[in-house]
Amino acid sequence: MADTQTSSTEPTSMLFASNKIDGTKVKSRDGDNLGTVYSLMINKRSGRATYAVLSLGGFLGIGKSYYPLPFELLSYDDVADGYVVTIDRRLLEGGPSWANNAPDFNQAYADRVSNYYGVAPADLTLG
């Protein structure tokens, strides 16, 4: 009997292995390069990606800024092999971010991010 299962590190056509997401390109709807996915923030209860943290700017790892973006604002473009967002760079760069030390991503910060982008707040409570 042939083994039909794929390795947990090999993505299928509709799934990304977590070790393959970092560095995925992110473009604006106009095709401008915005940055790359630095990491995903996964909800412990639902198992769904809640935020994509985008890495923008910098040179050789110096001067980068990180922007949490509600995952629902990203759509995957198979042709470009990357994500597309419908917001422009100025809006993104004006949003919640950090350069050196990530904030405590508690409910208040999640609400701030959601309010900035005009999406429903993520529920980060564990109760």
User: Is 69 a member of any domain?
Assistant: yes
pTM of the model: 0.80
The pLDDT confidence band at residue 116, using thresholds 50, 70 and 90, is very high
Specify whether the CB–CB gap between 110 and 124 falls below 8 A.
Answer: yes
Summarize the confidence of residues 106-113 as an average pLDDT: 91
pLDDT digits (tens, 9 = 90+) for 15-27: 667 777 777 889 8
pLDDT digits (tens, 9 = 90+) for 45-90: 888 888 999 998 766 666 789 999 999 999 988 888 889 998 888 8
Report whether pLDDT(10) > 60: no
For residue 53, how many other CB atoms are within 10 A of its CB?
A: 19
**Total domains in the fold of the chain:** 1
User: Is 106 a member of any domain?
Assistant: yes
Q: Average per-residue pLDDT in the chain?
A: 81
The pLDDT confidence band at residue 6, using thresholds 50, 70 and 90, is very low
Domain that holds residue 63: 18-113
For residue 83, give the CATH number of its domain: 2.30.30.240
Edge to edge, what strands does the sheet with 74-77 contain?
A: 65-70, 49-56, 33-42, 25-28, 82-85, 74-77
User: Is 118 a member of any domain?
Assistant: no
Question: Could you say which DSSP state residue 18 is in?
Answer: H
